[in-house]
C-alpha cells in the first residue's frame, strides 16, 4: 500500500485546466481541500511568476511555485525568487531562431519577455522538431507544452527546481505526489514519491509516471489526488 504523501506538486496547463486553458473549478476545490487539510500544494508551470502569484492567491495556496519550467522558484508569497536558469543563453538561442525562421519569412511571437527571468517562450506557430534541429549545438532544451514552445537550459527542469523547493519546505521529494501531462513534467514525476500523469498526457510521459489516470485534464488531477488521499474521495 502506498504511503499517503505529505505534499503535492502539480503542473497547471493541461493538468488543472481543460484543452482551452480554462481552470477546472472542481480541481480548484480539490486543491483547497488539500490546503485546508494542511497539505502544501506547489504549482509548477512554464508560466511567469507574476501569473502564478495571481493564481495562487485566487486558488488559495501559500504562493510556493516553480516557474518557467524550473528556471525560477519561490517558497511562499514573501519568499525570495531563486533564478536557476540562464536567460542570456536562452535569448541567444532565440535570436538564432529569429534569423533562421526570418530567412523563411516567418516571424516568431515572443510571450511576455519582460516578465521572464530564466527561459524564453514563444507562440507554437512553427514545428517544435524544426526548432530542435535549428538549435543543434546550443545548450538548450526545446520544450513543447502543447500551448507554447519554451527554450530552457539543458541542466534545468521542473525536477531540479522541485528538489530545491522540497528542501526549503523541509519535506522529502519522496513524500510528494506529482501530477502532470506534458514532457516538461517528466523529471518532476520521476523525482516524486508518486508520479501520476493525467490521461491526456503525451505518449512519452507514460513511461515516466507510476500510473496514468482514466480521466483527462482537471478531472484527471482530481482522480490522481483522490487515489492517494482516501479521505478526499
Active site members: 11
User: Which three cell numbers mark 32?
Assistant: 483547497
Q: Phi first, then psi: give them for residue 158, nearest 5 degrees.
A: -60, -30
User: Which three cell numbers mark 95?
Assistant: 535570436
Q: Phi first, then psi: give them for residue 142, nearest 5 degrees.
A: -105, 115
Give the β-pairing of 82-83 and 65-67.
Answer: unpaired
Supply the DSSP string of 92-154, one letter for each residue.
HHHHHHHHHHHTTT----B--GGG-SS-EEE-S-S-HHHHHHHTTTSSEEEEE-SS-EEEEET
User: Alpha carbon of 97 to those of 36, 102, 172: distances in Å?
Assistant: 46, 8, 39
SS3 of residue 153 by DSSP:
strand
Amino acid at each position: 500500500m502506498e504511503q499517503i504523501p505529505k505534499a503535492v506538486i502539480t503542473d497547471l496547463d493541461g493538468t488543472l485546466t481543460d484543452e482551452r486553458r480554462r481552470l477546472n473549478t472542481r480541481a480548484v476545490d480539490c486543491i483547497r481541500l488539500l490546503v485546508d487539510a494542511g497539505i502544501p500544494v506547489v504549482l509548477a508551470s512554464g508560466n511567469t511568476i507574476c501569473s502564478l502569484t495571481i493564481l495562487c492567491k485566487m486558488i488559495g495556496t501559500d504562493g510556493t511555485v516553480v516557474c518557467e519550467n524550473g528556471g525560477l522558484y519561490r517558497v511562499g508569497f514573501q519568499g525570495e525568487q531563486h533564478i536557476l536558469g540562464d536567460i542570456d543563453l536562452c535569448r541567444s538561442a532565440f535570436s538564432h531562431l529569429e534569423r533562421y525562421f526570418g530567412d523563411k519569412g516567418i516571424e516568431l511571437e515572443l510571450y511576455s519577455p519582460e516578465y521572464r527571468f530564466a527561459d524564453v517562450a514563444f507562440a507554437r506557430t512553427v514545428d517544435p522538431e524544426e526548432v530542435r534541429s535549428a538549435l543543434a549545438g546550443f545548450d538548450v532544451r526545446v520544450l513543447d507544452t502543447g500551448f507554447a514552445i519554451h527554450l530552457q537550459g539543458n541542466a534545468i527542469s521542473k525536477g531540479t527546481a522541485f528538489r530545491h523547493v522540497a528542501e526549503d519546505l523541509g519535506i522529502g521529494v519522496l513524500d510528494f505526489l506529482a501530477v502532470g501531462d506534458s514532457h516538461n513534467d517528466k523529471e518532476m514525476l520521476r523525482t516524486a514519491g508518486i508520479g501520476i500523469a493525467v490521461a491526456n498526457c503525451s505518449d512519452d510521459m507514460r513511461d515516466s509516471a507510476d500510473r496514468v489516470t482514466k480521466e483527462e485534464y482537471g478531472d484527471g488531477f482530481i482522480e490522481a489526488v483522490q487515489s492517494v488521499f482516501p479521505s478526499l474521495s
